[in-house]
Amino acid sequence: MLKIGIIKENKQPADKRAPLTPDNCSTLLKTSPSQIEIWVEHSLDRVFTDEAYQQAGCKITTDMQHCDFLFGVKEVPVLYLVPNKTYFFFSHTIKQQASNQKMLQAMIEQKNTLIDYEKLVKDDQRILGFGYHAGIVGAYNGLLTYGKKTGPFELKPAHLLEHYESMVDQIKDIQFPAMQIVLTGGGRVAQGALQLLKDAGIQQVNKDDYLTRQPNAQFVHLKSEDIYVSKDGKPYDRTHFHQNHQAYNINFEPFYEKTDLMINGIFWTKDMPSFFSKEETAKANFNIAVIADISCDINGSIPITYQATSIEKPVIGWDKINLKPCDPYTANSIDIMAVSNLPCELPKDASALFGNDLATKVFPEIMNNESTILDDATILKDGKLTEKYDYLEQYAYGDLIEH
């Protein structure tokens, strides 16, 4: 009998999401009644109540010592780690993030096994993620910020809405002004944003039509092949691009000349060019007034995203005259929404989609005696780095990185 534990989110501020919803748990228990038990750590922060889990057949506890597998969402603070357990969560360690080095070293000391959701992959595609709802909320917040900046419409903050349907109710009857919107990216984030814009009734156009401004609200969805240009003049090649980012320039100026609101959901790494420079924001032809930076790479693809923001204070400003940070919603500001935990604003919907994928695509791997998918996502096994992640050796065993 496998004892599955859903842990309390102890990283602050406490996350309302859950890796499995009560409905997910009910389905798992009915499907495998003699194979698993599900224990849920008591929490007042989780969007689903203890009572809902009890009704689904789970057991509520404050002690997770007896569980075999512990499932969370975010990183586990060192104080709350349980020795000799197998953990599933987003560890944010694979890029040697300084903020989680102590946690990884503590997990080594406590002989934990760590399986990272981010590295669960099948057919070259990530199995789990919250990107779709990050895209939904990010696009909504972009519209909200633009309305607040320019005045023609108002929207209720996303975190005050219970479900996506409530969000659609907010936007479906708005007569949006003649605004031009660029959406960037090709993954789950972009797909979520794309859905929100379509449900808002905003017209999608191709990139050529977009550059001819029309007297109505419209958006264009730009993928890598639409904006990255090979330095040697050869046609864009997706495989070559992903292996040789440094061999490409970006051609975004025609779009920032025409755009009012930019929604950025692109996957970006440090060897890729930014969409524009800080200095370009001072140019007379730089038209973007609001940026919803869902990707939120600090000083990255959007170089004026100089810090991440919070759900409570979601927007920062960039003074395009003096080229420095400023208060948002001012005459010379470009306003940037850079909330780093966007799915938390729709915790029920985000948890439901994530939990369904976890239950249907990952749990069968757990029930098997062997799983390449799980092996490839295992950073630590009984407190030791696995071969795939031995590049983390200095990070895992060395001195702490300053941050």
> What's the CATH code of the domain at 195?
3.40.50.720
Residue 403 lies in a domain: no
Q: Label residue 335 exposed, middle or buried (CB < 10 Å: 0-12, 13-18, 19+).
A: buried
Residue 402 lies in a domain: no
Q: What's the full length of the chain, in residues? A: 403
pLDDT the model gives residue 400: 87
Nearest to 378 by CA among 78, 105, 129, 116: 116
Residues 6+ apart with CB under 8 A from 95: none
Whether the predicted pLDDT of 401 surpasses 90: no
For residues 31 and 56, the answer to whether their CB atoms sit within 8 Å is no
Nearest to 361 by CA among 369, 69, 49, 353: 353
Residue 84 and residue 79: Cα distance in Å, rounded?
14
Do 154 and 210 fall within a single domain?
Answer: yes
Residue 324 lies in a domain: yes
Residues 6+ apart with CB under 8 A from 245: 269, 271, 272
Residue 82 lies in a domain: yes
Do 164 and 204 fall within a single domain?
Answer: yes
**Domain end marker among 345, 367, 384:** 345
pLDDT the model gives residue 67: 96
Do 136 and 96 fall within a single domain?
Answer: no
Do 297 and 157 fall within a single domain?
Answer: yes
Amino acid occupying residue 182: V
Do 187 and 320 fall within a single domain?
Answer: yes
Query: Mean pLDDT, to the nearest integer, of 115-138?
Result: 96
Q: Report phi then psi at 314, rounded to 5.
A: -80, -15
Torsion sign over Cα 123, 373, 135, 309: negative
Confidence of residue 403 (pLDDT cuts 50, 70, 90): low
pTM: 0.92
**Domain end marker among 320, 345, 370:** 345
Confidence of residue 399 (pLDDT cuts 50, 70, 90): confident
Do 373 and 340 fall within a single domain?
Answer: no
How does the average pLDDT of the chain come out, rounded?
95
Structural domain of 53: 2-128+347-397
Which tokens go with 91? Answer: 């560890």
Do 352 and 339 fall within a single domain?
Answer: no
Do 288 and 175 fall within a single domain?
Answer: yes
Do 181 and 158 fall within a single domain?
Answer: yes
Whether the predicted pLDDT of 250 surpasses 80: yes
Residue 254 lies in a domain: yes
pLDDT digits (tens, 9 = 90+) for 12-24: 888 999 999 999 9
Whether the predicted pLDDT of 402 surpasses 90: no
Which residue(s) pair with 180 in the sheet? 218
Confidence of residue 101 (pLDDT cuts 50, 70, 90): very high
Q: Lowest mean pLDDT of 78-87, 234-243, 330-339, name the range.
A: 234-243
- Within its chain, how far is the Cα of 310 from the centroid? 14
Do 376 and 268 fall within a single domain?
Answer: no
Domain count, the chain: 2
Whether the predicted pLDDT of 323 surpasses 80: yes
Which residue(s) pair with 263 in the sheet? 183, 292
Residue 86 lies in a domain: yes
Which residue(s) pair with 370 in the sheet? none
Do 306 and 282 fall within a single domain?
Answer: yes
pLDDT the model gives residue 33: 79
Q: How many CA atoms lie within 13 A of 233 on its CB side?
A: 0
Do 268 and 355 fall within a single domain?
Answer: no
